[in-house]
Structure 1
Amino acid sequence: MEPKLIEQVVAQVLIALKDRLPELESASRTIRVGISNRHIHLSNEHVEILFGVGYQLKKLKDLAQEGEFAAEETVTLVGPKGVIRGVRVLGPLRKTTQVEISRTDAFSLGIKAPVRDSGQIEGSAGITIVGPCGSITLKEGVIMAARHIHMHPDDAAFFGVKDQDRVSIETTGTRGIVFKNVLIRVHPKFRLEMHLDVDEANAAELNNNDAVQLVRQS
């Protein structure tokens, strides 16, 4: 083949690859998994009822998302059919108390917790929460958190998605599956991480820090 013809072919291939670069990068870039066990977010009012007036949560460890942490404190959930002890409190405090559990937990407690995006607790399940200094009974506030991905705006731009989009995520391995309707949450303080509950992770045999791929938008 003539040298000039080779140069032309090489140039065409490079142009084609350049045009497909975002697609190829997106296909190869993975997202880290964070598995969410049952936990509770508390309002200041409820912290004082459960742990005492003026009580401040004690940080046990930082979580992956900036400013979020697991507290030393735990509470007990009491439902119509069962009790779950040692439910971890997560900080910082929120305006409204929210309990996040799995479907298996809901069966154990005897409640019907709906799948909801975080913060959408209207009409959700109720529960009694017991702490060392008192207890509260919520009429609503218990959900199974919808699977979601935290993204920095740079990550969203890379993957070609925006806040509140829904996408599909593929896992690998002998129990590889595709998770559909995965919510995208974008914020400058977010770090790239997909959150699943324990039941979802077990179904796909996923562990913390395993890698998954965004395959297409739902």
Structure 2
Amino acid sequence: MAVITETYLRSEMLKGTLSNPYFISHQHRLTPAAQDFLRDRGIKIEVMGSNSIRTIAKSKELRIPVGVSNRHVHLSHHEVEVLFGKGYELTPYRSLSQPGQFAAEETVTLVGPKGVLSKVRILGPARELTQVEISRTDGFTLGIHPPVRLSGSIEGTPGITLVGKAGSITISQGVIVAKSHVHMSPNDAKEFNVKDGDRLIVQAISDRSIIFPEVVVRVNERFTLDFHIDTDEANAANLKTGDFVKVIGRNGEPFSVNA
């Protein structure tokens, strides 16, 4: 959960990015001093939801909350049993932004040609295929160079060795650097005027206003609005989970300033 302090709000005010109303996501928590800071300046707080999306859309500024994704592993049922024992079930540690998904208590060690990464979190529930998602920096540590792919697109990707408490397994493919993408419900997609597979141009709302020009839209009735990037991308744009990006274009075309 991202904590917003009075100091952070003052820095936003100095940069000219402090909006009214001030939009926060379900992953934000305002300190009492931050709440007083906004109240004393007559700034209303709005939690990001369908009504907030409509409000932003009418003001011609579409915003999406950020979810920074650290290195993690998705395992098939078979790999869970190989790594942790026959009949083993993953233990939920905390819920993720997408309904029904969770970070598990269990972790694995990734072993590459040149190095290892320990305590890599497993995300549940188990899937049909095992997939490992790392950053480009992680790839340098391991000695592999996975391509940027959408989740599930693992053909021709590098393999890796995974070590758990009960055993180890080497997969021949399945390591990717996840392509930045946005999760949306059908209602969200309607408000943003997009469909599954469209591409958004989004810009970081930070002191490093980096533009992400090819953000793939993924629409599912189970999804909650979230912009997913890895730690390399988040560090470059000075973003953290709970921050926002603004949509400035769609399918390769920037929005008109006068639109």
> What's the TM-score once normalised by structure 2's chain length?
0.74
Cα drift, residue 214 of structure 1: 1.1
Q: Which amino acid aligns with 1:44?
A: H
Do the aligned residues in 1 keep the contact of 2:57 with 2:191 (CA within 8 Å)?
no
2:87 corresponds to 1:54? yes
Q: 1:40 maps to which residue? A: 73
Cα drift, residue 25 of structure 1: 2.3
Pick aligned residue for 1:152 from 172, 185, 188 = 185
Do the aligned residues in 1 keep the contact of 2:71 with 2:134 (CA within 8 Å)?
yes
2-side partners of 1:27 and 1:149: how far apart?
19
1-side partners of 2:57 and 2:229: how far apart?
26
Cα drift, residue 28 of structure 1: 2.5
2:132 corresponds to 1:105? no
Rate the CA distance shift 1:98–1:24 in 2: closer, same or farther, 3 A. Answer: closer
Q: Which amino acid aligns with 1:95?
A: E
Q: 1:115 maps to which residue? A: 148
Q: 1:67 maps to which residue? A: 100
2-side partners of 1:71 and 1:159: how far apart?
32
2-side partners of 1:64 and 1:23: how far apart?
21
2-side partners of 1:78 and 1:133: how far apart?
16
Deviations 1:156-201 (A, max 9, x none): 1111110011111011222111101100000111100000000000
- Find the residue that maps to 2:159 and give its secondary structure: strand
1-side partners of 2:57 and 2:167: how far apart?
55
Do the aligned residues in 2 keep the contact of 1:27 with 1:214 (CA within 8 Å)?
no
Q: Which amino acid aligns with 1:160?
A: N
2-side partners of 1:79 and 1:147: how far apart?
24
- Unpaired runs of 5+ residues, structure 1, are 1-20
Cα drift, residue 29 of structure 1: 3.3
Do the aligned residues in 1 keep the contact of 2:56 with 2:63 (CA within 8 Å)?
no
2-side partners of 1:29 and 1:181: how far apart?
16
Rate the CA distance shift 1:70–1:26 in 2: closer, same or farther, 3 A. Answer: farther
Q: 2:215 maps to which residue? A: 182
Aligned runs of 1:200-211 on 2, under 5 Å? 200-211=233-244
Q: Which amino acid aligns with 1:143?
A: I
2-side partners of 1:166 and 1:92: how far apart?
28
Q: Which amino acid aligns with 1:197?
A: D
> What's the TM-score once normalised by structure 1's chain length?
0.88
Q: 1:161 maps to which residue? A: 194
Q: Which amino acid aligns with 2:138?
A: D
1-side partners of 2:241 and 2:84: how far apart?
31
Do the aligned residues in 2 keep the contact of 1:162 with 1:186 (CA within 8 Å)?
yes
Q: CA RMSD in A?
A: 1.4
Q: Which amino acid aligns with 2:211?
A: V
Q: Which amino acid aligns with 1:60?
A: Y
- Find the residue that maps to 1:140 and give its secondary structure: coil
Which structure has the bigger radius of gyration?
1
Pick aligned residue for 2:230 from 172, 188, 197 = 197
- Unpaired runs of 5+ residues, structure 2, are 1-53, 253-259
